[in-house]
Structure 1
Amino acid sequence: MSDAAAKAFELFQADVGNDEGTGEWFTVTQDQIDQFADVTHDHQFIHVDPEAAKATPFGTTIAHGFLTLSMLSHLSSGTSSARQDPARFAGFAMAINYGFNKVRFVAPVKVGSRIRARAVTSNVELKGSSIEVTRSFTVEIEGEDKPALVAEWISRLVYA
């Protein structure tokens, strides 16, 4: 392991248990929901038919759970300025999305809702020349008591 990777590991490890804060609010639109439905071929009426969705308990269309999950890439970008510390990325080659330990879709995201992510670094492990970082995310819905989503997301940071 390089000195840069060892230093980065120490810096990431010091984050375990720390709240990284929240990102910016993001509005989920019907156009985004429709585009996601087209890409995934999931055109269930609850997502794409506003008239039919009025008769559901939600009273409107809702985003696909997987759309909310896929938005983590964007929503997580503003959760921690500390992650931008150049020492963490000296000798850094690439990041790999390694997967999820847990994903739960807790509450629906109604069209027009604003969502944002809150993150906590929950685990850091050395894997050869890589650092595996697990972050626990909660996607909040503005004005709602329950979150849209909770997930444990694993990323691998590969160092040269």
Structure 2
Amino acid sequence: MDPDTAPAGVTVYRGVDDLVAAVGDELGPTEWLPMEQARVDAFADATEDHQWIHVDPSRAAESPYGATIAHGFLTLSLLPHFMSSLRRFDGVRMGINYGLDKVRFPAAVPTGSRIRGRMSMDNVEPLPDNGVQLTTTVTIEVEGADKPACVATLLSRYYFHADTQTSEGQP
């Protein structure tokens, strides 16, 4: 992908300075993503979590939700999809998930609904070897719901190529 172009709605960060300047920024929302039963079933198969509320539409129709619902961890696993729809890093030689500080699932995601993501850039800490630890809060919303489906504070580490701008303003 050309480093000077990005899809509409995608913010491009070209180095540590860009990330430091972005602390406090809100990104999003993304496009809506349908939560289809096939996705829920595939996740159930992958994780061996076949609880009826996720995979039995007949029984789940009688539940308080009126339908099957997505696994909370399925919703959480979509964070990379939503984040990559909102931001891109140029000059990164490696990025890793470092952990999660806090994850909550305030509302269920019924199958047949649509979800989208938004995020805030909360903190940037310098690391050795031209790296940073980035703290972001990602919120996944359900179309028409009063509460979000998931709110997660994510810690990620990114290591930039040596010729990428550093927080000291030097390559």
Q: TM-score range by the shorter chain?
A: 0.7 to 0.9
- 1:67 maps to a residue whose letter is L
Matches within 5 A, 1:2-151: 8-80=15-87, 83=88, 89-90=90-91, 92-129=92-129, 130-151=131-152
Alignment partners' CA distance in 2, 1:9 and 1:77: 18
Give unmatched runs, 5+ long, in structure 2.
1-13, 162-171
- Corresponding residue number in structure 2 for 1:157: 158
Contact kept in structure 1, 2:136 and 2:155, CA below 8 Å:
yes
Contact kept in structure 2, 1:23 and 1:77, CA below 8 Å:
no
- Corresponding residue number in structure 2 for 1:4: none
Alignment partners' CA distance in 2, 1:21 and 1:75: 9
- 2:116 maps to a residue whose letter is R
- 1:27 maps to a residue whose letter is P
**SS at structure 2 position matched to 1:155:** strand
Q: Which has the higher helix share?
A: 1
Alignment partners' CA distance in 1, 2:52 and 2:128: 47
User: Under a length normalisation based on structure 2, what TM-score does the superposition of the two structures give?
Assistant: 0.82
**SS at structure 2 position matched to 1:58:** coil
- 1:98 maps to a residue whose letter is Y
Give unmatched runs, 5+ long, in structure 1.
1-6
Give me the identity figure in percent. 48
Alignment partners' CA distance in 2, 1:138 and 1:71: 11
User: Under a length normalisation based on structure 1, what TM-score does the superposition of the two structures give?
Assistant: 0.88
Alignment length, in residue pairs?
147
- 2:24 maps to a residue whose letter is G
**SS at structure 2 position matched to 1:111:** coil
- Corresponding residue number in structure 1 for 2:9: none
**SS at structure 2 position matched to 1:102:** strand
**SS at structure 1 position matched to 2:70:** coil
Alignment partners' CA distance in 1, 2:85 and 2:127: 26
| CA-to-aligned-CA distance 1:50-74 (integer Å, 9 cap, x gap) | 0010111001000000000001111
- Corresponding residue number in structure 1 for 2:167: none
